[in-house]
Structure 1
């Protein structure tokens, strides 16, 4: 674009010498500014010394004292206009010196005037007119000749912004315009004198008809006039003029040429113009162009070029060419050169300064945005944007320059950063302002902004992107919380596991003996109801122990493929759910189950505990009428989900339980999964273990649970890994009479005497022949010497062999030995190893006759 502007200016200079008329040249400059720089309109005023305004001056009768023509002999006259307005009369046809923008530019109060905000700049007096025409920018330049005298003003309006480079180019053009006016004024003076002499010659010619002698006098006058012209051109400052004839021989060399090129007149006259000031490499093309111009085949091109001085050093100039006819009627050719050395130096210094600034600006590690206020500081537009800012925001500098801050980054409004920028712009005080954007407790971005105001009025925002560091800190803190929770749960789990093991052995007698006694006494016995109560109490106690085992993560549980929808349906038909509905009559339970959901590998008992606890929790959170919805769905987690969800990528079955209660506080959400922590008040039931059971069960299933809460309710969302295995058909209840044996031998291995005694009584009642031993070593010895049909094996026995080690030794003796694991507490890893070795069934202590009988019947009936 810069090259196009310079080429356009060169064409303006080319056209300047197509006419000798000053107003014609100034019209060419106005036309050029409009066409090259896209100005809406451009005008040139000249100060005409001694010209007094008449009554027709629109300012002469103004009541505003500022507009009285106090300097009528220095009034600015509009002499050239182009673009939207081409007329030279009207209100601005004459402008008082020192009034309005034009007069103030002429007086030097604002010798160079530039604004890109004409609709809001207080120096522009008619904002409504500018807005109506859609004008954006205005520039004005004082036209000062080489003697320091002001001879006019060049100004233009544009409907677009004027860049710094455009401003510099037009300012150079204005300087050249001042020189053109200066030369033209000198030339007009000379031409006026020539016209006067010509008029005299006309009179003289009429007299010469009568008196031939007077012809000599007229000739002498013409020679004198030409001499004066040459004298004036010779003394022109800073404009080097060389005259040469058709053979390119120098015939005129003014003082400015001597100063510019170092050749004295006596050194240059009589020599070829191209041999004096052209480098050897450029002479052939120059000679070709010059000869074609002399032959009047084409114009001599004007523009910036580089010539050489006497010492061979380069001299940057602006060159133009003029052809004149002398008093003898012969053609004389003139080259006019304006020295551009200082301008080039200034340009180079400006370029180097800009490069240094740009290097520093673009290599900063912090993002930097330079802003300019618009709409009186209500918003700001981007003037510059460094590379670090491009990388931080993911946007290029070209996409953002000139755009509004509030539109490009709407979050600066909501975060308060835009208001901080306004305050800094108003009072100039630097401010620091961090901006954090987060969603679902995940930091999306973290910017730390320092805002400053430059002396020029622009606002600079210096900022760093700390998103990664802050996100890592947040994740580290979350991991620390999870670790603390895991350690707390592990400690409680170890305690719960030990307690559960001992309680289950104690409960075996409370659960099993009443069941045996009930089968031996008459139905109308007075002992029947007490025994039933004892049995029911034992079963309830066993259920509590089962909850403790769930808290003790890693407790043994048999996992199998199952349909999540089927497990939900079975729970909703259970006695537990009926009891929940009775306890909360105002709560409606609803389901939204996605059909054909993939199966999950799970412990159905634990999934039922999850459903029961979440349903109870949701119902009891509602005070009065409300709704609890249980829903299922499927979803795929990708790598991007791991910032919030630690599960590996893959497909998951999703269980959602949502209530319409009042929600929970952030403190409650943080602690709801801790054992014995409860938010239930006002007589609501609850031990504080319910959600702990849910959390542990989800972890044991390789899943994840999220909690979302608000004034409209709370939602628990659980992710379970899906499996390709097909669910097994539900087992039907079998009549106890069909579970009796045929005298098969069953070896009981348990370190608890009471448990061995209970197991023997139950097996005898079921029709089996029990044999009991107290440790693993005795079991191995017995198997070595006797055959048994089945081993009923306890997993935890101290001291001596564990249940796993006992079974591994047994199958070394008898590879096909069938076994059932009976345990009050054992880790899943230990149980899985026994299953891998060949055992297939697991019964939890305390077990009932039905559970024991069905497990033995299935194991004995299992095909090898």
Structure 2
């Protein structure tokens, strides 16, 4: 039994010593050996207990050795008394420990064995700061999640192989797929074949280590519609730098692209308008001089014709010259019709007669491979328009029809009257309900695709080979019709042909000049005086010769200043002035003279008015105008009508 007692005390002593060491060492390392009383008391208890059990082990050893005579009984009693006293000390230390523990109410904490109240306060403050930082981080993460989820842009996560791993509300709005339908599916679900190649290239660049970059592409929505999207892609890497995913931010740029396209179209139209204005200015300058030249050629030709009645071969040659002048005049008029540089002379036009005239012209020139048919209306429809512009419409459409039938075919020119209810489709521009005069130009040519038909009235748009078409003909037709208050409808079918329907307001009253008024010889001038203002000397001579031969007295001036001087010195019965002249225009000169003599008849002449007559290029009522080049008879008739206040345009 003593042996067992000895062994047990030795074991307990060693255990307590080990516990004491395990307490003291970390407390010492934490720097709390002097301040952490509870830890010190705990270590002292285990130390005291270890010493006490050591004393008991000595006593047990003495008891075993006593019978052998190694230790006297008095020594055993002495060790027993010491052990009892040490046990009392151990008890006192235990009481001190428990009083400390009861007062502090703390034991173990992470990172320390025991903590005193001051240390606990610091730990509590640190813990509070840690909790506040953690709460702030969690709120920040929640805010980011809300922003990402509610973003108008699509935020998409992908694996390096292109499998969708994240999908926010913006992605659902742009592409139409809810998250449940696309997560874990390949991103190719959003695209067609071309877009799939673009996606594959993007993923390859990400896997290759390329950084963030942007690009645009066309993607397919859930409903099958297309959407233009701008992408910003960024690789997602782990701490080692390996790409573990791809972050994609996608923005719908369809509206922005449409706006940019509209802006581009507006800019293009503006540029075209500037080019048209430049072309108009160029054409006007050329036409002004060219028409003066044509007037000189035409009238001198007429003079020679009058003087060679007895020489038929000369007459035949001069007839060819006169025909060439008429063709050149027509060409100049067509050019000015397009550039809007001429003065439009409105009058009532019989569409049946216009179609008959154009049919007669085309029949000789359009080619034997084309069958040309004219279908007049039962009752001739009349419109208030410029006759030259009506001819221009029919000629442009007929020539386009001919070009659409290289192997031959049929062109039909037709006039009739049509009633519209105001809801017709494809009217350019739209027309209100009513009854309109209608011209139709139909062909049996190649026809057009809907895409081509939608663009045919754009300036400079043409399907003809380079050098064979300017793209101006149909733009001119559209401009003329729209300005006249009309509209155009186009129907075309590939392999069948094309029909243009031109609707124009029917004239309310007839203003057509009676043909009898232009027949026969012009009335005599009876010696009345005409002040002719023309800066082209050769043309001024011709006008003087015509008027003098018609019974008028003529005074000529080469510019406005000279004309004012002559008027003040001699007066006149009619002012015949060119519209465009250096230093002072014809309208300005007329204004100065009319301020002094308001009842003076004024006749303007020009091959290009440049908008100087009337508020627009359409002649205002009360303005008498003769277009260059003119014949002698035309001039004499116009002068007589103007002086008689019977002003008739044309």
1:481: which partner in 2?
268
1:117: which partner in 2?
none
1:783: which partner in 2?
567
RMSD of the alignment, in Å?
Answer: 6.0
Q: In structure 2, what is the Cα distance between the partners aligned to 1:569 and 1:401?
A: 71
1:770: which partner in 2?
554
Alignment of 1:459-608 (within 5 A): 463-522=250-309, 525-550=312-337, 553-560=339-346, 566-567=350-351, 570-574=354-358, 577-579=361-363, 582-587=366-371, 602-608=385-391
1:504-552 C-alpha deviation (Å, 9 max, x unpaired): 222222211222443454466443222222222222222233334345x
Q: Is the 8 A contact 1:584 1:620 kept in 2?
A: no
Q: In structure 2, what is the Cα distance between the partners aligned to 1:630 and 1:837?
A: 32
Q: Is the 8 A contact 2:343 2:618 kept in 1?
A: no
Q: In structure 1, what is the Cα distance between the partners aligned to 2:191 and 2:374?
A: 43
1:679: which partner in 2?
465
Unaligned 5+ segments in structure 2 are 1-138, 184-188, 209-213, 237-245
Q: CA deviation at 1:801?
A: 2.1
| Greater relative contact order (Cα < 8 A, sep 6+) | 2
1:822: which partner in 2?
605
Could you tell me which of 576, 580, 592 is aligned with 1:809? 592
| 1:364–1:818 CA distance, 2 compared to 1 (3 A) | same
Q: CA deviation at 1:490?
A: 3.3
2:579: which partner in 1?
795
1:324: which partner in 2?
none
1:351-404 C-alpha deviation (Å, 9 max, x unpaired): x99987973454112146999xxxxxxxx99x98726744x58x8x9xx79899
1:242-269 C-alpha deviation (Å, 9 max, x unpaired): xxxxxxxxxxxxxxxxxxxxxxxxxxxx
Q: In structure 2, what is the Cα distance between the partners aligned to 1:762 and 1:491?
A: 36
| 1:623–1:386 CA distance, 2 compared to 1 (3 A) | same
1:243: which partner in 2?
none
Secondary structure in 2 aligned to 1:843? strand
Higher helix share: 2
Secondary structure in 2 aligned to 1:618? helix
Q: In structure 1, what is the Cα distance between the partners aligned to 2:617 and 2:276?
A: 27
Q: When the two structures are superposed, what TM-score results if normalisation uses the length of structure 2?
A: 0.55
1:730: which partner in 2?
512
2:22: which partner in 1?
none
Alignment of 1:206-355 (within 5 A): none
1:858 aligned onto 2:641: yes
| 1:511–1:775 CA distance, 2 compared to 1 (3 A) | same
Q: Is the 8 A contact 1:671 1:677 kept in 2?
A: no
1:429-471 C-alpha deviation (Å, 9 max, x unpaired): 999882279xxxxx9852457999x9xxxx9997422112211
1:446 aligned onto 2:228: yes
Q: In structure 1, what is the Cα distance between the partners aligned to 2:169 and 2:440?
A: 48
Q: Is the 8 A contact 1:673 1:692 kept in 2?
A: yes
Q: In structure 1, what is the Cα distance between the partners aligned to 2:366 and 2:431?
A: 40
Q: When the two structures are superposed, what TM-score results if normalisation uses the length of structure 1?
A: 0.43
Q: Is the 8 A contact 1:509 1:758 kept in 2?
A: yes
1:592-629 C-alpha deviation (Å, 9 max, x unpaired): 99x99996x75331232232123112202312233446
Larger Rg: 2
Alignment of 1:23-42 (within 5 A): none
Higher strand share: 1
Q: Is the 8 A contact 1:550 1:693 kept in 2?
A: no
Q: In structure 2, what is the Cα distance between the partners aligned to 1:531 and 1:596?
A: 36
| 1:792–1:467 CA distance, 2 compared to 1 (3 A) | same
| 1:472–1:672 CA distance, 2 compared to 1 (3 A) | closer
Q: In structure 2, what is the Cα distance between the partners aligned to 1:369 and 1:712?
A: 49
| 1:676–1:650 CA distance, 2 compared to 1 (3 A) | closer
Q: In structure 2, what is the Cα distance between the partners aligned to 1:389 and 1:550?
A: 55
Q: Is the 8 A contact 1:736 1:853 kept in 2?
A: no
| 1:479–1:568 CA distance, 2 compared to 1 (3 A) | farther
| 1:559–1:534 CA distance, 2 compared to 1 (3 A) | closer
Q: CA deviation at 1:573?
A: 4.0
Secondary structure in 2 aligned to 1:737? coil
